[in-house]
Amino acid sequence: MSRIFSGIQPSGSLHIGNYLGAVKNWVELQHKYESFFCIVDYHAITLPYKPDDLRARVADMALGLLAAGLDPAKCTIFVQSMVPEHTELAWIFNTLTPLGELERQTQFKEKASREESVPAGILNYPVLQAADILLYRAELVPVGEDQLQHLELSREIARKWNARFGASGFFPEPKGLLTPARRIMGLDGQAKMSKSLGNTVDLLEDPKSVWEKLKPAVTDPKRVRRTDPGTPEVCNIYHLHKAFSPAATVEHVAVQCRSAGWGCLDCKKVLHESMEKELVPIRARAKEIAAHPAKMKKDLAAGAEHAGSIASGTMTEVKKKMGLT
Ligand code: AQP
């Protein structure tokens, strides 16, 4: 069975962008691949945070992932900082990664532009990400479109390390696995849905609050009046229909939008109903899992132990090949 690895930052609540772009795919893939899914807390400390908040967010993220359908009996789910080899390999990869490559990463440019003083951790984020993936010598990485550039860098790092230490093929060059919802836009219609931009619908959010967020969400900007015909392809709500509604509904939505048969609010009501169909069972599972916190802790510890055993095997070989032992 090929191995897959993917991670998610506990930098806020699991949102429907993460879910549609990555996590929903993870749930399918865990049955087909030897799967490692990691809550990457070291990635989430690159910007200021409160320790108690981080602790709570890691637990919330684990709850969200399990509720979405990750099954610890089928995949390895664990917290990054519980496997110290991630940062050990990241240091090694830092010694091979050109500064220019890191500076030209789009996510670095975006995040750095929002900070007055830019921590080196934001710059080195893709190096740690390469270590996360390559530690498990994973071949496939199910992610959203925003991560493809980082993944290209992981491939370059793998190639470079293999060539430098005469270890052809030791680290595979990992490939991305995308879902049809490769980039979900935020409710503001301005940027991708992102925990740090406050433009999200969270996976475990209650239905009332989801509706309060959908109501003012940006739609086709040219539909100013109820009677203006719209262009579904430029509307964020239409794209969410494509992710949540059955094909016949999506088609009906497009016709109603183009003919101004429905107003945007009508369209949002139908979307809300479709979302509820998918989210109700997830919320119910979350409630069950939250009732047994000791079980969740035990699952994460078992995941870290298994991940750690593979990670330490990789590091032993890496150090041998590098003359470090
Ligand atoms: N809007 C999105 N559409 C599709 N996929 C997305 N992903 C994130 N946002 C979208 C995918 O979700 C996985 C986990 O993401 P992450 O938390 O590790 O990092 P991120 O991409 O930086 O997510 P956020 O929400 O934007 O977090 P912040 O604001 O903290 O940076 C990844 O596979 C990602 O592609």
**Structural domains in the chain, sorted by start:** 3-185+293-322 (3.40.50.620), 205-286 (1.10.240.10)
Report the atom number in ligand 1 closest to the C-alpha of 147: 35
Ligand 1 centre to CA of 165 (Å) is 33
Summarize pLDDT for 34-89 with one digit per residue, the tens: 999 999 999 999 989 999 999 999 999 999 999 999 999 999 999 999 999 999 99
pLDDT digits (tens, 9 = 90+) for 143-178: 999 999 999 999 999 999 999 999 999 999 999 999
| 317 pLDDT tier (thresholds 50, 70, 90) | very high
Percent of all residues in the chain with a pLDDT value above 70, rounded to a whole number: 100
**245 within ligand 1 shell (Cβ under 6 A):** no
Q: Is residue 129 lining ligand 1, measured as CB closer than 6 Å?
A: no
As a whole number of angstroms, the distance between CA 207 and CA 209 comes to 5
State if residue 154 touches ligand 1 by the CB under 6 angstroms criterion: no
Mean confidence (pLDDT) of the chain: 96
135 lines ligand 1 (CB under 6 A): no
Closest CA to 39 of 314, 319, 259, 299: 299
237 within 8 A of 256, measured Cβ to Cβ: no
- In DSSP terms, 15 is beta-bridged to 202
What confidence score (pLDDT) does residue 245 get?
Answer: 97
- Does the annotation count 269 as an active-site position? no
Q: DSSP letter at 184?
A: P
User: How far, in Å, from the CA of 228 to the mean position of ligand 1?
Assistant: 34
CA 16 to centroid of ligand 1, rounded, Å: 10
Query: Which ranges in 45-166 belong to alpha helices (H)?
Result: 51-68, 85-94, 99-103, 106-113, 120-134, 148-164
pTM for the full predicted model: 0.95
Ligand 1 atom nearest to CA at 196:
29
**Percentage of the chain modeled with pLDDT above 90:** 94
Ligand 1 centroid distance, CA of 41 (Å):
14
The phi, psi pair for 38, rounded to 5°, reads -125, 135
Taking CA atoms only, the protein residue closest to ligand 1 atom 8 is 18
pLDDT exceeds 90 at position 262 = yes
Q: Across residues 209-217, what is the average pLDDT?
A: 97
Q: Which of 74, 160, 175, 192 is catalytic?
A: 192
C-alpha–C-alpha distance, residues 213 and 184, integer Å? 15
Q: What is the pLDDT of residue 196?
A: 80
Would the CB of 193 count as within 6 Å of ligand 1? yes
Active-site residue 195, yes or no? yes
Ramachandran region, residue 137 (left: φ > 0; alpha: ψ -120 to 50; beta: rest): left
8 lines ligand 1 (CB under 6 A): yes
Give the integer Cα–Cα distance in Å for 122 and 119.
6
**Please, are residues 225 and 263 in contact by the beta-carbon 8 Å criterion?**
no
Ligand 1 lined by 219 (C-beta under 6 Å): no
Residue 1, pLDDT score: 78
Q: What are phi and psi of 235, to 5 degrees?
A: -105, 125
The alpha carbon of 191 and the centre of ligand 1 are apart by a number of angstroms equal to 12
3-state secondary structure 210-243: HHHHHCCCCCCCCCCCCCCCCCHHHCHHHHHHHH
Annotated catalytic, 109?
A: no
The phi and psi torsions of 261 (rounded to 5 degrees) equal -65, -40
Instruction: State yes or no: pLDDT of 198 exceeds 90.
Output: no
CB proximity list for 319: less than 8 A, separation 6 or greater: 325
